[in-house]
Amino acid sequence: MSLLNTALLIQDTAELAASIKDDMGMLWMLISGILVFFMQAGFFLVESGMTDSKNAVNIAMKNFLDVAVGSLAFWFIGYSLMYGSDMGGGFFHWGGFVFSQGAADLFFQTVFAATAATIVSGAIAGRTKYTTYAIFSIIMTALIYPIAGGWEWNGGWLNAEWMPAEFIDFAGSSIVHSVGGWAALVAAWMVGPRIGKFLNGKPVEMHGHNQMYATLGVFILWLGWFGFNGGSQLAWGGDDSAAASQVVLVTNLAAAAGALSALLFTWIKNGKPNLGMTLNGSLAGLVSITAGCGNMSESGAVLAGLIGGILVVLSIGFIEKTLKIDDAVGAISVHGVAGAWGTLVIGLWGVDGDTGIGLFNGGGVAQLASQAIGVLAYAVWAIVMSYIFLTILKVTCGGLRVTEAEEIAGLDISEHGTIAYPGKRQREME
């Protein structure tokens, strides 16, 4: 074989290997996106299981709405605002309506947008107008989430040279979860507490109607998170395969650590292990590793999850007892607080390969400063924008919540004209 033929063969082999790697990467993104899509079933089970049975249909309708309007709104305008060309100092991007760089990437990013919107649903369950929620879901997926996402994932201002270090949010602890969590905080505060939640200023525990639903939902979310974080590698093959596998591993470790720390903390604190807090602890562990899943060692992931599980228990109590805000499922704490923690922890003991970039492993304060700037920026953005749009909706839609009579009857019958458990309703009437 001549040298020319050998060179051509080597070139063809390299091109074939690159093509296979690209195809495998696209397949990995699609599979991961499908796993994240399935997380909507988990969110529905968690939210419905942790709340009253008379609102189960309403919660199902909200989750279907998030996927339906989120898919269309993000396809039509949100993706362009997130991944279009820079139109203003890395703060605002635009690529035109129905802008897309590829079907796999668009689908993967779409299910992330739906997740950000769904986070709000849980916090305001049981008393919010369906119309109001529908419009706000569109606003979240078309405007609030995608504009903020471009700040980091499209080379926005959080990657500017003037930053102390490059801001890191690998899979969205702040971009997805904190944005959703802080929006949920504003929404829960503005909508107000459920009837009977506070008695003489003290929170009353309102038990969910089916803790088995909630448990199954968390297991589904745990599974889906392997796609949420692992798919954010955006590639598969060679070193990318090893990196994505490591991301999945640390994700699992953090979830387990969060569940265990919440379980033990509530056991010691209250004398009994609490299922609801354990479930939220595992979710807090997952959120706590989402930003740093590409920049945390295995031991670092465990530590992040352990602290995240305790933080979520303390945060739920603080929001209820001190702020007097009714968060029906703990969404603000799981996604907002744990999301902020998961972003900051990279600046404490994050790594870049074998090099420490966190404060406690020789990296100095630069990374921590950048992470803090990002946390603050996403919090301010989500809180301010949510307040503006919800205020507009409050005026134009005749309020954010249903009437007292409608809330007592249940949103299933008052908002949708049907009920989830007709046999149970018949027994109550008898």
Beta strands at 355-356 and 202-203: parallel, antiparallel or unpaired:
unpaired
Sign of the C-alpha dihedral computed for residues 363, 365, 368 and 369 taken in this order: negative
Task: Report DSSP letters for 110-133, one per residue.
Answer: HHHHHHHHHHHHHHTTTTB-HHHH
Quote the Cα angle for 335-340-342, to 5°. 90
Q: What is the pLDDT of residue 89?
A: 87
Q: Tell me how crowded residue 143 is: count the other CB atoms within 10 A of its CB.
A: 16
Residues of the chain with pLDDT under 50: 8, 16-17, 426-427, 429-430
Q: What is the pLDDT of residue 16?
A: 47
d(CA 400, CA 188): 10
Q: Tell me how crowded residue 49 is: count the other CB atoms within 10 A of its CB.
A: 24
Distance spanning both ends of the chain, measured CA to CA:
90
Sign of the C-alpha dihedral computed for residues 237, 241, 243 and 244 taken in this order: positive
* Residue 286 near residue 341 (C-beta atoms within 8 A): no
Retrieve residue 157's tokens.
């201002």
Beta strands at 355-356 and 351-352: parallel, antiparallel or unpaired:
antiparallel
d(CA 166, CA 405): 52
Q: What is the pLDDT of residue 430?
A: 45
Q: What is the pLDDT of residue 8?
A: 47
* Residue 62 near residue 135 (C-beta atoms within 8 A): no
**DSSP structural state of residue 414:** H
pTM of the model: 0.93
d(CA 331, CA 333): 5
Cα–Cα distances in angstroms (integers) from residue 430 to residues 112, 116, 374, 417, 424, in the given order: 45, 42, 56, 20, 10
Q: Is 105 exposed, middle or buried (0-12, 13-18, 19+ CB in 10 A)?
A: middle
Q: Tell me how crowded residue 413 is: count the other CB atoms within 10 A of its CB.
A: 16
In tens, the pLDDT along 118-154 reads 999 999 999 999 999 999 999 999 999 999 999 999 9
Q: Give 86's strand partners.
A: 93
Q: What is the pLDDT of residue 17?
A: 47
Task: Report DSSP letters for 306-362, one per residue.
Answer: HHHHHHHHHHHHHHHHTS----SSSHIIIIIIHHHHHHHTHHHH-EETTEE-SGGGT
In tens, the pLDDT along 264-293 reads 999 999 999 999 999 999 999 999 999 999
Residue 164 exposure: Cα atoms within 13 Å on the Cβ side: 15
Residue 300 exposure: Cα atoms within 13 Å on the Cβ side: 27
CATH code, 9-83+103-429: 1.10.3430.10
**Relative orientation angle of helices 103-123 and 145-153, to the nearest 10 degrees:** 130
**DSSP structural state of residue 175:** I
Sign of the C-alpha dihedral computed for residues 36, 228, 274 and 343 taken in this order: negative
Q: Tell me how crowded residue 21 is: count the other CB atoms within 10 A of its CB.
A: 16
Q: What is the pLDDT of residue 242?
A: 74
d(CA 45, CA 38): 11
